[in-house]
């Protein structure tokens, strides 16, 4: 099969970032065909290189997963010559700059949005912060767990009796990376008619968290009850959660009245199907404890496989509660061809969850190795220098 050009072929993105938010945005750009040049800390590079174990060839598996397909250099921001090289390269070659350094850091070196967009009017510049571009916390640094706590997200994760816990993936970091890509693509799309302000994109972890919290926040603003911890359940839909069976567990998502009644009859609980306490979703939410207790008792009478076979035959959305190793070896995962080795063979990671015309883009390039800024930026157009194996 002949590989077709990707949507962002010919676009050059400079990533001045570390950890996860900016690097994840850079990864998406790389998967979409852009050339991504990653500027790393002079001492040791991106902090995420050390976020392990596991480690692969001296860098964490996390770093390999988020940074393959990029070119990279080691940059000393205390060196005016290095700053000059970076500025010249951006002005001469870059279409996009994405950065998640501490607010004000790049402005001090003449690499902020205003300076660079004035020098290069076509440049799209994306600032990625912790708490947003305005407000009393605009200069406050932050990581994903801090924002999970501050946004109220941590207050609704887990069960009532649990100690506070975080969603164990960095969804605000990665979500901010996604919003950055969306904002940059929108700015690129409108670049011909956009003024300078429309070419500067601001996103943050806190705003991303508030976006994920759209439903709980909207419920609260509408005068609903204080959102609380419901484990795997939903505050707005019942039954919509994990149920323990005689051995393992299953997730059941009876998201409307028809599915609820079908669930009852499939489980041999016909009397619940027409019980006035549970006729509508609103009634089921109000009488959640009573209904869930009955369903839990019934599910525990048989193994998970027994229930999955019957629920699937009745077209009731359901599935097993899988561990990560089972997901890796799952036949649906394999059919999607989404877990792939990087071209250098160092690691297996997740491909872009998008297909074009039924074809998923190949993983781009190798994981970047650190190089020195002087000769690399001076000869940065030579991929053989930057893309070391």
* Residues 6+ away with beta carbon under 8 Å from 224: none
Tell the residue number behind the tokens 């852009």, with chain if given.
Answer: 34
Contact 292, 285 (CB under 8 A): no
Distance of CA 236 to the CA centre of its chain: 24
User: Which of 292, 89, 58, 51 lies closest to 170, judged by CA?
Assistant: 51
173 catalytic residue (yes or no): yes
Handedness of CA 372, 374, 375, 381 (dihedral sign): positive
* Beta partners for residue 244, in sequence order: 249
- The CA distance from 306 to 85, in Å, is 65
Report the residue count for the chain. Answer: 389
3-class SS letters over 175-186:
HHHHHHHHHHHH
Rounded CA Rg of the chain: 25
- The CA distance from 83 to 79, in Å, is 6
- Region label for 337, one of left (φ > 0), alpha (ψ between -120 and 50) or beta (otherwise): left
Q: Catalytic: which of 46, 95, 173, 202?
A: 173
Q: Which residues are catalytic?
A: 173
């Amino acid at each position: 099969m002949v590989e077709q050009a990707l949507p962002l072929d010919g676009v050059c993105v400079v990533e001045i970032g570390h950890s996860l938010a900016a690097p994840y945005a850079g990864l998406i750009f790389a998967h979409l065909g852009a050339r991504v040049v990653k500027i790393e800390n002079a001492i040791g590079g991106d902090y995420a290189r050390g976020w392990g174990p596991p480690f692969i060839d001296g860098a964490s598996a996390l770093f390999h997963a988020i940074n393959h397909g990029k070119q990279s250099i080691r940059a000393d921001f205390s060196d005016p010559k290095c700053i000059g090289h970076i500025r010249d390269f951006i002005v001469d070659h870059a279409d996009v700059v994405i950065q998640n350094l501490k607010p004000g850091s790049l402005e001090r070196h003449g690499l902020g949005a205003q300076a660079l967009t004035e020098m290069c009017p076509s440049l799209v510049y994306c600032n990625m912060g912790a708490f947003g571009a305005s407000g009393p916390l605009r200069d406050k640094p932050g990581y994903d767990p801090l924002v999970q706590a501050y946004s109220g997200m941590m207050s609704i994760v887990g069960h009532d009796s649990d100690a506070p816990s975080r969603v164990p993936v960095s969804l605000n970091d990665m979500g901010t990376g996604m919003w950055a890509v969306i904002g940059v693509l929108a700015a690129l799309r409108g670049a011909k008619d956009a003024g300078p302000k429309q070419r500067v994109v601001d996103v943050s972890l806190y705003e991303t968290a508030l976006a994920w919290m759209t439903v709980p926040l909207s419920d609260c603003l509408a005068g609903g009850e204080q959102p609380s911890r419901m484990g795997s359940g939903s505050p707005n839909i019942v039954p919509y959660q994990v149920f323990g069976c005689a051995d393992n567990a299953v997730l059941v998502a009876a998201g409307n009245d028809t599915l609820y009644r079908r669930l009852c009859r499939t489980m041999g609980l016909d009397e619940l199907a027409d019980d006035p306490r549970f006729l509508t979703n609103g009634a089921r939410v109000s009488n959640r404890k009573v209904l869930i207790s009955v369903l839990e008792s019934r599910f525990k009478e048989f193994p998970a496989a027994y229930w999955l076979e019957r629920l699937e035959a009745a077209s009731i959305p359901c599935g097993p509660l899988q561990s990560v190793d089972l997901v890796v070896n799952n036949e649906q995962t394999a059919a999607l061809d989404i877990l792939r080795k990087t071209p250098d063979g160092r690691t297996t990671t997740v491909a872009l969850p998008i297909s074009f015309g039924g074809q998923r883009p190949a993983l781009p390039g190798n994981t970047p190795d650190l190089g020195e800024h002087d000769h690399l930026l001076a000869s940065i157009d030579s991929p053989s220098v930057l893309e070391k194996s």
